[in-house]
Amino acid sequence: MAGRPVPWLGSLFLVSLWGASAPASILRRLGEHIQRFQESSSLGLSLGPGAVAIPREGWLEQPLDPFNASDRRSFLQRYWVNDQYWTSQDGPVFLHLGGEGSLGPGSVMRGHPTTLAPVWGALVIGLEHRFYGLSIPAEGLDVAQLRFLSSRHALADVVSARLALTRLFNVSSSSPWICFGGSYAGSLAAWARLKFPHLIFASVASSAPVRAVLDFSEYNDVVSRSLMNTAIGGSRECRAAASSAFAEVERRLRAGGAALATLQAELGACGSLRRAADQAELLGALQALVGGAVQYDGQVGAPLSVRQFCGLLLGDRDNCSSPASYLGLRRAVQVVTHSLGQKCLSFSRAEAVAQLRVTEPQVSGLGDRQWLYQTCTEFGYYVTCEDRGCPFSQLPALPSHLELCEQVFGLSSSSIAQAVAQTNSYYGGQTPGATQVLFVNGDTDPWHVLSVTQALGPSESAILIPSASHCSDMAPERPSDSPSLRLARQNIFQQLQTWLRLAKESQVKGEV
Contact between residue 11 and residue 105 where contact means Cβ atoms under 8 Å apart: yes
Q: Which of 175, 235, 470, 472 is catalytic?
A: 470
Categorise residue 128: left if φ over 0, alpha if ψ from -120 to 50, beta otherwise: beta
Q: Rounded distance, CA 507 to CA 412, Å?
A: 51
Within 8 A by CB and 6+ apart from 502, the residues are none
Within 8 A by CB and 6+ apart from 491, the residues are 463
Q: Which of 445, 448, 461, 481 is catalytic?
A: 445
With H, G, I as helix, E, B as strand and everything else as coil, classify residue 168.
helix
Q: Rounded distance, CA 295 to CA 469, Å?
A: 6
Is residue 445 annotated as part of the catalytic site, yes or no?
yes
Is residue 129 annotated as part of the catalytic site, yes or no?
no
Tell me how crowded residue 472 is: count the other CB atoms within 10 A of its CB: 25
The DSSP output letter for 196 is -
Helix 151-168 and helix 413-427, axial crossing angle in degrees, nearest 10: 40
User: Vertex 320, ends 319 and 324: CA angle to 5°?
Assistant: 80
Is residue 448 annotated as part of the catalytic site, yes or no?
no
Categorise residue 215: left if φ over 0, alpha if ψ from -120 to 50, beta otherwise: beta
The dihedral sign for the CA sequence 162, 99, 220, 379: negative
Q: Which helix (H) or strand (E) holds 41?
A: helix 22-42
Q: Rounded distance, CA 250 to CA 399, Å?
A: 19
Q: Which of 11, 21, 150, 183 is catalytic?
A: 183
* Residues annotated as catalytic (active site), given as ranges: 183, 445, 470
